[in-house]
Homo-oligomer: A and B are copies of this chain.
Amino acid sequence: MAITLADLAARVEGRVQGDPDREICRIGSLSAADGGAIAFFDRGRPRSELEHTRAGAVILAAADAAGYPGNCILVEDPYVAFAKAASIVHTVAPATAGIHASAVVGSGAFVAESVSIGPNSVIGGGATIGERVRIGSNCSIGANAVIGDDCHLHDNVVIYPRCILGRRCTALAGAVIGSDGFGYAEDRRTWLKIPQIGRVVVGDDVDIGANTTIDRGTLDDTVIGDRVKLDNHIHIAHNVQVGADTIMAAYVGVAGSTRIGERCRFGGRSSIAGHLTLVDDVHVATVSLVTHSLHQPGMYSAALPAIDNRRWRRIAGRIHRLNDLAVRVRRLERRVKVP
Binding site for B on A (CB under 8 A): 27-29, 31-33, 39, 44, 77, 79-80, 82-84, 86-87, 90, 92, 100, 102, 104, 118-120, 122, 136-140, 142, 154-156, 158, 160, 170, 172-174, 176, 179-180, 182, 184-187, 189-195, 197, 207, 209-211, 213, 215, 218-220, 227, 229, 231-233, 235, 237, 245, 247, 249-251, 253, 255, 263, 268-271, 273, 275, 283-292, 298-309, 311-316, 318-320, 322-323, 325-326, 328-329, 331-333, 335-336, 338
Say whether B235 contacts A233, CB under 8 Å.
yes
Say whether A174 contacts B172, CB under 8 Å.
no
Within the assembled complex, what's the spacing in Å between the Cα atoms of A100 and B119? 14
Taking the nearest CB of chain B, how far is it from the CB of A138, in angstroms? 5
Say whether B122 contacts A140, CB under 8 Å.
no
Say whether A331 contacts B338, CB under 8 Å.
yes
Say whether A210 contacts B263, CB under 8 Å.
no
Q: What are 9 contact pairs spanning A and B, CB under 8 A?
A: A83-B192, A84-B187, A138-B138, A156-B176, A158-B173, A172-B180, A302-B306, A304-B316, A315-B323
Say whether A195 contacts B27, CB under 8 Å.
yes
Within the assembled complex, what's the spacing in Å between the Cα atoms of A207 and B191? 11
Say whether B104 contacts A104, CB under 8 Å.
no
Say whether B220 contacts A29, CB under 8 Å.
yes
Candidates B138, B251, B292, B326; contact of A305 at CB < 8 Å? B292
Known A-B contacts A176-B211, A195-B90; A288 and B300 likewise in contact (beta carbons under 8 Å):
no
Say whether B338 contacts A319, CB under 8 Å.
no
Within the assembled complex, what's the spacing in Å between the Cα atoms of A184 and B190? 37
Q: Give the residues in chain B near A92, CB-CB below 8 Å.
A: 195
Within the assembled complex, what's the spacing in Å between the Cα atoms of A289 and B306? 5
Within the assembled complex, what's the spacing in Å between the Cα atoms of A29 and B197? 10
| 15 other A-B residue contacts (CB within 8 Å) besides A215-B232, A285-B309 | A87-B193, A87-B195, A154-B179, A172-B179, A176-B232, A179-B209, A189-B245, A190-B245, A235-B251, A253-B268, A286-B291, A300-B306, A302-B306, A318-B322, A319-B319
Say whether A305 contacts B291, CB under 8 Å.
yes
Within the assembled complex, what's the spacing in Å between the Cα atoms of A270 and B158? 27
Within the assembled complex, what's the spacing in Å between the Cα atoms of A190 and B190? 46
Say whether A122 contacts B120, CB under 8 Å.
yes
Say whether A289 contacts B305, CB under 8 Å.
yes
Q: Which residue of B lies closest to A189 (CB)?
A: B263
